[in-house]
Amino acid sequence: MTSMQLGLIGLGKMGANMRQRVRAGGHEVVGYDPRPEVTDVPTLVALVDALEAPRVVWVMVPAGEPTRETVRKLADLLGEGDLVIDGGNSKYTDDQPNADLLAAKGIGYLDCGVSGGVWGLENGYGLMVGGSDADVERAMPIFDALRPEGDRADGFAHSGPVGAGHYAKMIHNGIEYGLMQAYGEGYDLLEAEPLIENVAGTLRAWSKGTVVRSWLLDLLVKALEEDPGLQEITGYTEDSGEGRWTVEEAIRHSVPAPVIAAALFARFQSRQDDSDTMKAVSALRNQFGGHAVRRAD
């Protein structure tokens, strides 16, 4: 294994864990974060100075403007032969503009989808990368440190050119929406049926041997052990963008995606106090059939 230096920008929940895992892999990591209590260096300039050229800098900040702004700064601070990797959940359409901006200064660019959440520190992260073969090759020691142990191909892929890594991660998350909703519907049905006196045990019995066994199922079993009947929480569920983008891609490619769309809409629904759609339906039933409506207050 080649030991490398890595600059890592963004030491939040994900970034801090990744710093730890890359260091455990035998590499030197210089981390930067605006919060003094977690950062290794006081400024971005100091981070760049702390690395020997040619540098590799991993960006792990919130998607959208924060990531684009960081890339713009790096385009100023880095130089010919350096390499930037965006490991956040950026939309894939940000990647080519980022790559172009950096390429104008002779700086390379990779986009890397990272999956694994808070468990990645221990289990390793699944990685999907977009960019050139040469850039991927160069950063491979870092990818090898981050990915799960075992066969590289089970936790790492070079998915295609710039943009492919984030595209793959977006689809990964779209699938994730569908999987979670499928387990959720099944859980709801088990809870609804009086015959099933042992919902949590039934789900746990699917952990091994069955067709539906998965890591998400393991987590659902764990959640039910920690909060039997999920009585401490509500169904209010946020979404962080990738599910929306996946459905937009389905539209762009004319690919039917009823399951992923249904999972996305269920989240929207979970955040509504009431539904204008259903008010209209209820009003219509009242109009044509005299069916009772439920009055507000």
CB 38, min distance to its own copies, A? 16
DSSP element (H, E) containing 128: strand 126-130
Give me Rg for the CA atoms of the chain.
23
Site for its own copies in 122-151 (CB under 8 A): 123-128, 130, 147-148, 150
CB of 268 to its own copies, least distance (A): 5
Residues with catalytic function:
169, 176
Stretch that binds its own copies, among 24-32, 44-52, 131-139, 225-233 (CB under 8 A): 225-233
Residue closer to its own copies by CB (options 101, 259) is: 259
Q: Are 125 and 146 in contact (CB under 8 A)?
A: yes
Check residue 150 and report its DSSP letter. Answer: S
Burial 243-256 (b: 16+ CB within 10 A, else e): bbbbbebbeeeeee
Position 101 contacts its own copies (CB under 8 A): no
Distance in Å, CB of 210 to its own copies, minimum: 3
Q: Can you tell me which of 90, 109, 171, 242 binds its own copies, judged by CB under 8 A?
A: 171
- Which run of H or E residues covers position 157? strand 156-160
Is residue 72 involved in binding its own copies (CB under 8 A)?
A: no
In angstroms, what is the minimal distance from the CB of 225 to its own copies? 11
CB of 75 vs its own copies, minimal distance in Å = 23
131 and 111 Cβ atoms separated by less than 8 Å: yes
**Residue 125 and residue 128: Cα distance in Å, rounded?**
10
Is residue 292 part of the contact set for its own copies (CB under 8 A)? yes
Contacts (CB under 8 A) with its own copies, residues 106-125: 115-120, 123-125
Size of the site for its own copies (CB under 8 A): 139
Q: Does residue 198 interact with its own copies by CB under 8 A?
A: yes
Q: Considering beta carbons, is residue 52 or 295 the nearer one to its own copies?
A: 295
Contact between 78 and 49 under an 8 Å Cβ cutoff? The reply is no
Closer CB to its own copies, residue 52 or residue 274? 274
Shortest Å, Cβ 108 to its own copies? 18
- CA-to-CA distance for 297 and 140, rounded, in angstroms? 61
Restricting to residues 268-287, name those near its own copies by CB under 8 A: 268-271, 274-287
Kindly state whether residue 195 participates in binding its own copies, applying the rule CB under 8 A: yes
Based on CB atoms, which residue is closest to its own copies, 103 or 262?
262
**C-beta of residue 110 within 8 angstroms of C-beta of residue 165:** yes
Please report, as residue ranges, which positions from 6 to 25 form the binding site for its own copies (by CB under 8 A). Answer: 13
Q: What is the DSSP string of 31-96?
A: EE-SSTTT-SSSSHHHHHHHSPSSPEEEE-S-TTHHHHHHHHHHHHH--TT-EEEE-S---GGGHH
